[in-house]
Amino acid sequence: MIRFRRLALAALIPAAALSLGLSGALAQTPSPAPAASASPSPAPSAVPSPAASASPAPAATPSPGPSPAASASPTPAASPPAAAAAPAPVQTADPFGLETTLEAKKVVMVKGTANWDSAFDTLVDAFKALNALLDKQGIKHAGNSMIVYTSTDDTGFTFLAEIPVDQDPQKLPKDMSIGKSPEGKALKFVHRGSYDNMDNTYEAITNHLDDKKLEAKDTFIEEYLTDPLKTAEDKLVINVFVPLK
């Protein structure tokens, strides 16, 4: 806190007034009597000597009042404290079970099957094939790459690898086609980390559905927010969408 202080200024008497007062005091002092003479002196005159007349002392000059600077001015009100800086936004947790609605997108897709032991490598190969086709025809992505799981069992799964596009590729191989991505109501979950660690995410998803007494369809979608062809596997960020019945 800043503290304010005031300085009290004393009124000063002018030097001229001091000089006049001193001379007046000297004028009021009576002259000393003359020494006695041996011969008789005439009787003193009844008229007093001018020097002996008491001249009135000049009126004392009144001390000037307190100067404006010395007047008691109110202490300035303390300024209100500056507003505290707005706190930095707090990063919220990733959505887990957020209700959302998927919109259908035009996609180029390729069908595939994989076993769980080499699942990620198989998915990467599918994305490589799609990217090679699009790059050859100069077609850009219109969204994130996706995997749609169409069936699963203890040994493996079948899937559709999809990449959104704005135009139709030409001369597609037999295992590729143009179609639409899934649409409708779904729950959104987020996974960060390697593909192998997604078991923990899916276990948490299953527990969430059980707690909420929700029934999911037989398919689910993974949207790769990070490019699986360029991102280290342990740095993947994947949205998992679970369509509801």
Answer yes or no: is 160 within a domain. yes
Answer yes or no: is 124 within a domain. yes
Question: Which has the minimum average pLDDT: 88-92, 177-181, 184-188, 232-236?
Answer: 88-92
pLDDT band at 139 (very low <50, low <70, confident <90, very high): very high
pLDDT value at 141 more than 60: yes
CA 200 to chain centre: 35
Answer yes or no: is 116 within a domain. yes
Answer yes or no: is 68 within a domain. no
Tell me the average pLDDT across 165-170: 94
Answer yes or no: is 184 within a domain. yes
Span 65-121, pLDDT tens digits: 444 444 444 555 555 555 555 554 444 578 799 999 999 999 999 999 999 999 999
Answer yes or no: is 205 within a domain. yes
Tell me the average pLDDT across 196-207: 93
Q: Average model confidence (pLDDT) for the chain? A: 75
**Which pLDDT value is given to residue 92?**
55
Tell me the average pLDDT across 208-228: 94
For the chain, what percent of residues have pLDDT higher than 90? 58
- Structural domain of 110: 96-243
Which backbone phi and psi does 148 adopt, to 5 degrees? -110, 115
Residues 6 or more apart whose Cβ sits within 8 Å of residue 161? 109, 110, 112, 123, 126, 127, 130, 145, 146, 147
How distant, in Å, are the alpha carbons of 95, 98, 114, 209, 220 from that of 185? 16, 11, 27, 14, 12
Tell me the average pLDDT across 168-187: 94
**Which pLDDT value is given to residue 95?**
76
Answer yes or no: is 139 within a domain. yes
Tell me the average pLDDT across 54-71: 47
pLDDT value at 36 more than 70: no
Strand 176-180 with 156-164, pairing:
unpaired
CATH for 225 = 3.20.80.10
Answer yes or no: is 171 within a domain. yes
Domain count, the chain: 1
**Which pLDDT value is given to residue 227?**
95
| Higher per-residue confidence, 33 vs 108 | 108
DSSP letters, 154-182, are SSEEEEEEEEE-SS--SS--TTEEEEE--
